[in-house]
Amino acid sequence: MAKEERKPNIDNLERNRKKFSFKLAKFINWVLVRRPKVKFLGEEFPNEPIVLLANHVGKKTPVKIELYYPRDFRMWGTHEMTEGLKEVHTYLTTIYYHQKKHLPKWFAWIVGTIAAPFANMFYKGMRLLATFTDYRFLSTIKQSIKEIEEGKDIIIYPEDSTNGYKEQLTYLHPGFASLCEMLYQKGKDVPIYVTYLNKRKNLFIVSDKMMYSDLKKEYGDFDHIAEALRLLINSLIDK
C-alpha cells in the first residue's frame, strides 16, 4: 500500500528558507557553483507564469536554478527528497549515487551518508513540489496549478534517469503535459520553454516560447508531445 501523503505546510516551507541551516547550505553551493550563462534562442520569458522543462545533469541544473533563476518558481522533485533525513539518506545511497551515478553500493552508501544531512538541509529550503509514481501525482498537479495561479513558474525535469543522466535524453515522462492539459481545461494556455544545460560551457540554451495549445494541436496526445520536446531539447546541445 502506498505511503499516506503528507502535504507540506506552505508557511513551514517559507520558514525553512529563512533558517540558518538552509542559508548556510545555499552559501556553500553559491561558493562552489559558478553562475551559468544564458542564451535565449527566441523571446525571453513573458510577464506571466511559464512551465520550464530542463535536463537534470546530475545535481547541476537544480542547484544552478535554485541559486540563480531570476523569477519566483516552484520545482518538481521526487518525493523522497521532501520527507526527512531518513528518506533522503535512502534516496541518495540506493537511487541517486548507486542507480543513477553508478557508484558501487558500498561507496554509494558512504558518500550518501556523508551528503544526506547537508542535502536534507538544502532540500527543505528549496520548496520542492513532491512528485509520485502513483495516484498521489494528482496532488502534484493540483499544487502546481495553484502555484501558477499565484504567479510562479513551474520547473520540471522530465527525463528518464533510471539508468543515469545522459547527455542525449532518451525519454521524457509526459507528466508535465498532464499539468498543461489541466491548466488548459481551466482556461489557461500556459507558455512552455525547454532548456538544455551544456555543462562544459556552463551555458543554459533556452528555446523559443511554445504554447501548449499549439503543441496539443500539432502532436495530439501526451506521449507525442513529450517525444517532440525530447527531440527539441537534444537539438539545443550544440546551439
Query: DSSP of 10-79, one letter per residue?
Result: HHHHHHHHHSHHHHHHHHHHHHHSPPPEEEESS----SS--EEEE--TTTHHHHHHHHH--S-EEEEEEG
Rounded mean pLDDT, 192-208: 96
Position 13 pLDDT exceeds 80 = no
Over range 185-207, report the average pLDDT: 96
pTM given for the model: 0.89
pLDDT digit string, tens, across residues 98-109: 988 889 999 999
What mean pLDDT comes out for the span 216-235?
96
Q: When comparing pLDDT for 216 and 58, which is higher? A: 216
Q: What is the DSSP letter of 117?
A: H
